[in-house]
Amino acid sequence: MSLFKRKKRIDTVEYWKSKIDYLFSEKYEKAFQLLLNTKSDLFTNASKTDLKDHIIAAYIELVNITVAKNNVSRDKRYEIAFLKDDYIKSKNGHNIIRLVSDYNKEFGSSMSDGIRPMAKYFSHSIETNNSKELEKFIYELFYAVLNESFAEIRSIKLV
């Protein structure tokens, strides 16, 4: 019997797909409704469609960051890059593809904290009465999602 537990090995592309599939699931829809109800004061003027598209696009970018930052092979990253648009389109996410690109540019625009410009872009894109409060909330939410993703990755081995 080994003293060391072997990490579960998961194909990187399948891991990425499972994260995207979640965004178009009933489980995500329930989480989205909970967010709307919990933070209704921040989203009073926001279009639910725009809000949902922005959250999904930002989440996809956070998943992409997680994969890229975890020493995944270049071949797997390229495979995801080539697959990404068609896979998202297959989920009726045509508008989301452009937004993912926008969030990617925002993340890359900072040498120290790419999440901050992502949160700023989100808050300026969503019509709200309190963009500063929304930006702060989204900044914290994005970091929570990223931290959770990194914790999950530490418990598995992407191959």
Query: What range defines the domain where residue 89 resides?
Result: 12-158
Sign, CA dihedral 84-86-90-93, equals positive
Domain assignment of residue 6, yes or no: no
CB 115 within 8 A of CB 143: yes
Domain assignment of residue 97, yes or no: yes
For residue 70, the model assigns a pLDDT of: 86
Q: How many CA atoms lie within 13 A of 33 on its CB side?
A: 6
For residue 3, the model assigns a pLDDT of: 60
Question: What parts of the chain have a pLDDT lower than 50?
Answer: 1
Summarize pLDDT for 44-56 with one digit per residue, the tens: 888 999 999 999 9
Domain count, the chain: 1
Domain assignment of residue 134, yes or no: yes
- What is the Cα 109 distance to its own chain's centre? 17
What's the pTM?
Answer: 0.92
Domain assignment of residue 2, yes or no: no
How far apart CA 51 and CA 57 sit, in angstroms, is 10
Residue 22 backbone dihedrals phi, psi, to 5 degrees: -55, -40
Summarize pLDDT for 36-45 with one digit per residue, the tens: 999 988 988 8
CB 131 within 8 A of CB 47: no
For residue 2, the model assigns a pLDDT of: 54
For residue 4, the model assigns a pLDDT of: 62
Domain assignment of residue 7, yes or no: no
For residue 7, the model assigns a pLDDT of: 83
Residues 147/149/155/159 CA torsion (nearest 10 deg): -140
